[in-house]
Amino acid sequence: MWAAVCGHTATVVALVNVCRAKVNAVDENGETALMLAVQGGHEDAVSCLATELQSDTIASNFAGTSCLHAMAVSSWAAAVAVTASEDQVHHDIGCDSCEMCPIRGPRWKCKACPNYYLCHTCHAQFLDTGDHYTAGHVFENAASAAAAAAVAAVAAKLSTMTAVLLEHGGLDLLLRTDSAFGWIPIHYALYAGNESLARSLVERLCRGSSIEVSERLGYAKQDILRHVGAPLSLFRGLPSAIKVWQDDAVVAFRSFCSVRSNFCCPPGARGYYELVIIEMDMFPQYGFTSAAFNRVPAVSGNGVGDDTESWAVDGARKCKLHDGTAAYECKWKVGDVVGLAWMWRRCRCSSPSTAALRHPMAVSLNSLQTQCSTAFLLPFLAPVARCAATWARHLSSTRRRRPT
């Protein structure tokens, strides 16, 4: 497996042909060597495994995702689009959604509308001031010449690997759904912000019909928008990392990711929510974030409480989190009802099972408001591996009632 992860093609061949290793053996997540090579962007290893060693190209891991799903959200495929212009300052150009001016970092331009731009955060969250996404408009990364060349190189690799996988797996791979949201690889590419890959996959599926391509892309974007606007939605991490039952307000976590509620606590208000721990065998982090806590449509090791824009408590490790840790004298167990309250005016987070929980690195209200384009707090869940929680109740109000 490690040979595939590192892209050591010769080692992979030797292990299979000489040591008689099983080419379709799976790891603890149900992923084969081919899936791991795809995730690493190792083009030669992928071609060798699929063609010479006849690895199973239609296999799915335990989350129901295929090789194409993995490629669509792989870090190497998404990194160029995000980092190619992350150090750039686009003078005299502002975001038409959040009004950041000048735009810093990647700048996304609508190809159908003149002079309509989004910053990377708004593009990743499908935020615009019109109906660009629902109308099927395409946004392109307006990067420098060097960045454009890097993007073109990644696009060529994506095209080659897609052709190899579809040659051996067939077009049915394009319609394979995951077990979390019922999303196909096209959804995964759109979720990761890789619209060019999504369009390429749709074109292969529709065999070049421009009208059908636009319709399918539009429907897929609407699916993503429905998830983003749902009561509970994935905010950081991969779609395969969670399973959400919206009607019952239940979330099951397969790996580290962050889930947010669509409720918010505006300045001057008090927010409160409760959750019931159904299963917990690792480290849960529950809390609030400011509006500056950005969406990350990829694997992220930073959850709620791991930076200066979020506050959390962890009853497994018995700590409070806010860009660091401090002691929290409360141990959670399965069946516990955990309540969290935010008192905005005092910048203090409270838990019913303890006294007030002051975040370890104090931030004044004024500075917090300055950092946020929209100043409000969002309830978040960020457990690690196989934790499950049910969202029992949430209140955001200006009532003067003290949390109990």
Residue 327 near residue 317 (C-beta atoms within 8 A): no
What are 243's two structure tokens? 């399973």
Question: 289 and 170 in one domain?
Answer: no
Conformation bin of residue 318: beta by default, left when phi > 0, alpha when psi is -120 to 50: left
Q: Under 8 Å CB-to-CB from 10, ≥6 apart: which residues?
A: none
pLDDT band at 202 (very low <50, low <70, confident <90, very high): very high
Q: Indicate the range of 156-165, 302-311, 344-353, 381-390 predicted with least confidence.
A: 344-353
183 and 224 co-located in one domain: yes
Q: Which of 223-232, 308-317, 353-362 has the lowest mean pLDDT?
A: 353-362
Same domain, yes or no: 253 and 325: yes
- Quote the crossing angle between the two packed helices 195-206 and 145-169, to the nearest 10°: 40
* 335 shares a domain with 267: yes
**Final residue of a domain: which of 199, 228, 257?**
228
In 205-245, DSSP assigns E strands to 232-236, 242-245
Domain end residue (candidates: 206, 228, 250): 228
With respect to residue 142, please indicate whether it lies within any of the assigned structural domains. no
Q: Domain range for residue 116?
A: 85-132
pLDDT of 29 > 70? The answer is yes
Instruction: Please check whether residues 58 and 119 belong to one and the same domain.
Output: no
Amino acid making up residue 135 = A
Burial of 276 (0-12, 13-18, 19+ CB in 10 A): middle
Average pLDDT over residues 220-244: 87
Tell whether 51 is covered by a domain. yes
Q: Tell me the mean pLDDT in the region 375-394.
A: 48
* Residue type for position 260: R
Share of the chain above pLDDT 70, in %: 76
361 & 247 share domain: yes
Query: What pLDDT sits at residue 196?
Result: 82
pLDDT of residue 251: 85
Surface-to-core class of residue 284, CB atoms within 10 Å of its CB (0-12 exposed, 13-18 middle, 19+ buried): buried
Residue 139 domain-assigned (yes or no): no
Higher-confidence residue of 269 and 357: namely: 269
Same domain, 46 and 89: no
pLDDT (tens digit per residue) in 315-333: 888 898 888 889 988 888 8
Domain membership of residue 123 (yes or no) is yes
Is position 119 within any domain?
A: yes
Output phi, psi for 6, to 5 deg.
-85, -5
- Are residues 310 and 377 both part of a single domain? yes
Q: 386 and 284, same structural domain?
A: yes
* Residue 138 burial by Cβ neighbours in a 10 Å radius (0-12, 13-18, 19+): middle
Q: What is the CA radius of gyration of the chain?
A: 22
Where residue 165 sits, what CATH number does that domain have?
1.25.40.20
pLDDT at 177: 92
For residues 110-131, average pLDDT: 77
Q: What is the pLDDT of residues 30-42, one digit of tens each?
A: 999 999 999 888 9
